[in-house]
Each structure stands twice: as structure tokens, then as C-alpha cells.
Amino acid sequence: MGTLAYIKNFIRDRDVAAITPSSKFLVKRVCKWIDFDTPRRIVEYGPGTGVFSKYLLENMHKDSELIMIEGNASFVQSLRQYCEGDERAVVVHDRAENVRQIMNTHGVERADYVLSGIPFSFLDEDVKHELISRTRDVLTSDGKFLVYQNYNHMEKPLRRHFDSVKREYEILNLPPMFAYEALK
């Protein structure tokens, strides 16, 4: 599923913020903060068509787990087809706000990483902070929340909830994106 599918879903679904899939440059910029050499539990909010998910599955340890939480039914169907047969991958049709219940359902107590491309700029301030707080709560003591966004609006909210926040900018993406690494 490529750019055309993104455009169709962008028009139909107000929660879809992108009209093109993430570039390989953005994927590598964000995923450089992940240790792929040891088993990890990764949760991905809003994987869309799975550009990040595919990279994660190709690079993560054979004993790692990836839980993808996607609210768009069309994207969920595409992700499930792609992940069929990979026992490390779980695709859940739900909202990121329900991360704790989703993890409990799948027997996962804590995540090492939560990766998110959901459009935080679309969320009310209270909802944004509640989701960031819930995300912090599901991470291990040294867990990371990795976020990529169109605008530089996440640094301040992330600093309210995390001990350390790094920000980088990826110009080789349409549109260019800010990438954040928030450490618990």
C-alpha cells in the first residue's frame, strides 16, 4: 500500500495525518535509537501501512515482540496480511489510549520502546498529556518513547513526563519531520 492508499485514507479518516508513507531516511533516523541485538518488546502507535513495522520486523531480534496499534481498518487489514505467519507481530485494531489494556490482553507487562507517528497536534492538550503519561507508565525503567511529527510541538510536553528528550530533524521526508527520543 503506497501513496495512493495514504491519500485515500487521509481523505476518509480524520485521524490519518500523512498523505505519503514515511521515507527510509526517517525510519532509520528514528530506529537508530533502538537496540536490535537483544530481545525487546516494542509497541507501535499508528503504524499506517507498516513502513516502520517492516523495518522493525526485519531488524529486531528473533525473540522480540512487536504490538502494532492502529485505528484505521484499511491499514489494519494491510498490516495483518503483511505480518501473517510472523509470531513476533501482533496487529490490534484499537486506539493508542488503550495501550495498557491491549498489552495486558497480550500478556505484556512493560515495553522497552513505544514508537509513535500518530498526529499529537490533532489532540487536545489534556488528551495529549494523558497519552504521554500512559505511554511512560507502560515503559520499562530504561524505556524509550520514540516520536516523529510534522511540527516541533512535542519537546515541551515530552519533557514534562520524561527525564531526557533529544530532538532531531529529518529533511529527507515528505513532509520533513521532527524525531524525538524520550528516555524514562
Please give the DSSP secondary-structure letter assigned to residue 21: P
What is the enclosing helix (H) or strand (E) of 111? strand 111-116
Residue 7 in this model has a pLDDT that exceeds 70 = no
Q: pTM (2 decimals)?
A: 0.89
| Residue 131 identity (one-letter amino acid) | L
First to last CA, the chain: 34
* Cα–Cα distance measured from residue 89 to residue 101, given in angstroms and rounded to the nearest whole number: 17
Give the per-residue pLDDT at 21.
85
* Percent of all residues in the chain with a pLDDT value above 90, rounded to a whole number: 84
Q: Tens of pLDDT along 136-173?
A: 999 999 999 999 999 899 999 999 999 999 999 999 99
> Which domains, ranges and CATH numbers included, belong to the chain?
22-183 (3.40.50.150)
* Cα–Cα distance measured from residue 71 to residue 164, given in angstroms and rounded to the nearest whole number: 29
* Cα–Cα distance measured from residue 96 to residue 42, given in angstroms and rounded to the nearest whole number: 13
List beta partners, residue 90: 67
Distances (CA, A) of 71 to 85, 105, 155: 22, 17, 25
* Cα–Cα distance measured from residue 148 to residue 179, given in angstroms and rounded to the nearest whole number: 4
Please give the DSSP secondary-structure letter assigned to residue 163: S
**For the chain, how many residues are written?**
184
Q: Tens of pLDDT along 46-67?
A: 999 899 999 999 999 999 999 9
* Cα–Cα distance measured from residue 103 to residue 10, given in angstroms and rounded to the nearest whole number: 28
